[in-house]
Structure 1
Amino acid sequence: MAALASLVWVLAGCFSAALAQAASPYPPLWEDSPEQLSDYSMEGGKYIIDPWVYTERLGLYRILLKKTATYFAKYGPENEQNLLWGLPLQFGWQYQSGRLADPTGMTNCGNGLNASLCVSVDSWWADVNYFLSVVPFLAAVDSGIIGISPNQITILPPPEDQMMFCYNVSGCQSAHPETMNRWRDFFQYMKLSSSNFDGLLKELWEAHTSSLEYPTNVFVDRYDFYSDKEANFEENWAIAVNYLAAARFPTTQNRTYSFQNALPPRVLVHTDIAPFIPDFTSLQNKVLVQLKLLGDTDRNSGSSSLILWESLMSTKLARALFLKAFEAFLETP
């Protein structure tokens, strides 16, 4: 039981970092992002979307949240209970912390004053996020949520590594059928009058973890562009998501926002040694230590710790107890 208790607190520390941002319950530049498809440029009867520009990718989330608001209205006012909030808030933290910029230093993408909105294809975070933004959006289009046909959208490719991504419904369905199906399942379940909040959480996290399977395996070469501390953080982050998914963490707007200050506010460098990083808060330092512990535990156990955790989180009561413990952890000085 002592080992289990330790794991719970490790997870609590990790998950407090998992989903947040800074001085507003909205991602940076939220109001500057497209709110409807007509805000994008149009060519040949098609909306042209460039996901390698921060505000244009952010707009996909804004449109998704607007189009799905009616289905979450029964859970709370002002779309606050929409479970898709975790995705744009996470993306906003990546932007604000400099994690969408070119980590190679070969270009000024995301770094220069005139290129601050640029999203680099060499960024591990940007590449992984592509499959949590463009792919869910295309699945929503295919599910009828957005209200247009798939052939009315053109997704622009990055300047390099184009073959590593998909750009339309048919292409994504062919390359990533399970992920597209998982997101479609989420949207179809959302539209059912019999849907419930816990069921929505289940469908959302199944889609979320499916979205990560391909990019976290394919873009491992991006680790070479970062310090060993940041690369290890990226690996541990991807592992932690599976534990978060098993607990069906509710990614509502306010709950997501309230945990944002625990995230590392910049890219880690070689000299960063948690819990002694001077420009990080004590919570940010602590989270990094616990996240590393979770990652090491998962790797050393051959992921058997995840299997144990999934078993422990198999009931609604257990998940509620974990959430209560998690929130108590955040309130502890």
Structure 2
Amino acid sequence: MWSALVIPTFLFLSCFSVGSAQIPGSVTHGNDRYPPFWDQINGDIAEFPVQDNKIIIDLWKYKDRLQIYKILIRESNKYFVQFGKNDTGNVLWGLTLLYGKLYKTGRFVKPSNSSVCAYEGEFPGCISIDSGWGGFNFYVLTIYFLAAIESGFLRNISQEIVFLSPEEHRSYFCYSIEECRASFPQAMDTAKKFYQYLQSRKILSIVGGTPVYNTDKDTAILYMWDAHQALIDIGKPMFNDIFQYSSATERDFTFNFLLAIEFCAAAIYRSFFESSAEFLVGFPHRPLTDEDDPILPSDFNIREKALMSSVKLISNINQMTGGSFLTVWKKAMNVSKITQFLGRLVIKNLLLIPNT
């Protein structure tokens, strides 16, 4: 019965929410949709400092993580040229733009002292090791990057990579291929599948001097989402009680948002640049405080309120059904490409994402 009702239920919810979507918040176009300081790096491993013939990367610096994102985007762009102009069809844009949004909205600060690692708008800063969002992002990026090296996808790295590892919370993180594979072999293998799939692609044609590979976008997106979920699953039990958030309300929003992303992943939601940028228009512009619950204050715009309300609604329904709502949704999305299309349509309406 649930299987027959899950799509109609979501359609009803999306129609209910769309009532306020007729006047969406303004959508900003231009360079400010890119992560802060994106134009200041070129996506070259040579930009990192070298000591004793080792490449030194500080994963608790915003710019160092951003550099890794740009390396992965640049090295994989050739497989996605047919899906968007000017390299906007890369399926890694969703992860990259969310990273920039987390930094810009102050979610990498030290929760007990919001002036530490704050986004100042002028110079790239740090990522607090006490930040829950910073911890989740650590695993998403680090294992993606290490899997790209281990799989041979990044062939131009001839020197050893050294990640700087502060002693604080040292046991909760892995800082090398050996450490991450020993602790999380399944997650490493899942991330490697994404790169192995890309490496298996063949050139179909040459258009304007540019090779076009036989990449199937649904397959690439599926592997990307599978890896993302495997990495988030690592962080959930670790960061649930140990790491800090600015408030219980922000913590709840974090886990509600991550649950909503699971619904997106099951529907193979398009993680290209444009669709990801539109999705994140509603991401709240600051961490939530306990005073924001249950009434959202006036400094949030309509898109922000809609996204926060929608992810909370999805979480409440899933909790009331003992988790079966997500389970049945995933089964429904596996039926056919038609149900996946309907699922994406529902998600766009429910989260107030306008067509682009």
TM-score (norm 2): 0.84
Structure-1 separation of matches of 2:38 and 2:292: 31
The 5 A counterparts of 1:78-117 are 78-105=86-113, 108-110=116-118, 117=125
Q: Residue 320 of structure 1 aligns with which residue?
A: 341
Q: Residue 77 of structure 1 aligns with which residue?
A: 85
Distance 1:317 1:12, change over 3 A: farther
Q: Does 1:266 align with 2:286?
A: yes
Distance 1:11 1:83, change over 3 A: farther
Structure-1 separation of matches of 2:343 and 2:248: 31
Unaligned runs of 5+ in 1: 14-19
Q: Does 1:63 align with 2:67?
A: no
- The answer to whether the 8 A contact 1:138-1:169 is kept is yes
Aligned amino acid, residue 84 of structure 1: L
Q: Residue 330 of structure 1 aligns with which residue?
A: 353
Look up the SS of the partner of 1:277 in the other structure: coil
Select 1:147's aligned residue among 155, 168, 185: 155
The 5 A counterparts of 1:15-30 are 24-30=32-38
Give the superposition deviation at 1:141: 0.9
Distance 1:77 1:289, change over 3 A: closer
Q: Residue 237 of structure 1 aligns with which residue?
A: 257
Distance 1:233 1:12, change over 3 A: farther
Give the superposition deviation at 1:123: 0.4
Look up the SS of the partner of 2:148 in the other structure: helix
Structure-2 separation of matches of 1:181 and 1:21: 37
Q: Relative to structure 2, which stretch is displaced further, 314-323 or 228-237?
A: 314-323
Q: Residue 282 of structure 1 aligns with which residue?
A: 302
- The answer to whether the 8 A contact 1:34-1:62 is kept is yes
Aligned amino acid, residue 271 of structure 2: T
Look up the SS of the partner of 2:112 in the other structure: coil
Structure-1 separation of matches of 2:34 and 2:198: 23
Look up the SS of the partner of 2:56 in the other structure: strand
Distance 1:75 1:127, change over 3 A: same
Structure-2 separation of matches of 1:94 and 1:38: 26
1:160-182 alpha-carbon deviations (Å, 9 max, x no partner): 11111111111111111111101
Distance 1:295 1:307, change over 3 A: same
Structure-2 separation of matches of 1:226 and 1:25: 25
Q: Does 1:137 align with 2:145?
A: yes
- The answer to whether the 8 A contact 1:85-1:251 is kept is yes
Aligned amino acid, residue 330 of structure 1: I
Distance 1:215 1:11, change over 3 A: farther
Select 1:126's aligned residue among 127, 134, 137: 134
Look up the SS of the partner of 1:154 in the other structure: strand
Structure-1 separation of matches of 2:17 and 2:141: 25
- The answer to whether the 8 A contact 2:80-2:215 is kept is no
Q: Residue 162 of structure 1 aligns with which residue?
A: 170
Q: Residue 207 of structure 2 aligns with which residue?
A: none
Structure-1 separation of matches of 2:231 and 2:129: 17
Aligned amino acid, residue 353 of structure 2: L
Distance 1:331 1:60, change over 3 A: closer
Q: Relative to structure 2, which stretch is displaced further, 274-283 or 226-235?
A: 274-283
Distance 1:159 1:88, change over 3 A: farther
1:144-200 alpha-carbon deviations (Å, 9 max, x no partner): 122145861111113511111111111111111111101100100112225411111
Unaligned runs of 5+ in 2: 20-26, 202-213
Give the superposition deviation at 1:9: 5.6
- The answer to whether the 8 A contact 1:142-1:150 is kept is no
Structure-2 separation of matches of 1:106 and 1:255: 31
Q: Residue 6 of structure 1 aligns with which residue?
A: 12
Structure-1 separation of matches of 2:266 and 2:113: 37
Look up the SS of the partner of 2:175 in the other structure: coil
1:1-54 alpha-carbon deviations (Å, 9 max, x no partner): 5534235568999xxxxxx99863311111223521110100111110111110
1:251-297 alpha-carbon deviations (Å, 9 max, x no partner): 00111112222110000011114664200111211221121111111
1:72-126 alpha-carbon deviations (Å, 9 max, x no partner): 1233332111000111100100001000010011872336799861100100000
Aligned amino acid, residue 104 of structure 2: Q
Look up the SS of the partner of 1:47 in the other structure: strand
Distance 1:208 1:82, change over 3 A: same
Structure-2 separation of matches of 1:206 and 1:106: 33
RMSD (Å) for aligned C-alpha atoms: 2.7
Select 2:186's aligned residue among 172, 178, 183: 178
Distance 1:49 1:312, change over 3 A: same
Look up the SS of the partner of 1:131 in the other structure: helix
Structure-1 separation of matches of 2:28 and 2:166: 26
Look up the SS of the partner of 2:162 in the other structure: strand
Structure-1 separation of matches of 2:29 and 2:130: 25
Q: Relative to structure 2, which stretch is displaced further, 283-292 or 123-132?
A: 283-292
TM-score (norm 1): 0.89
Greater helix share, structure number? 1
Structure-1 separation of matches of 2:177 and 2:219: 25
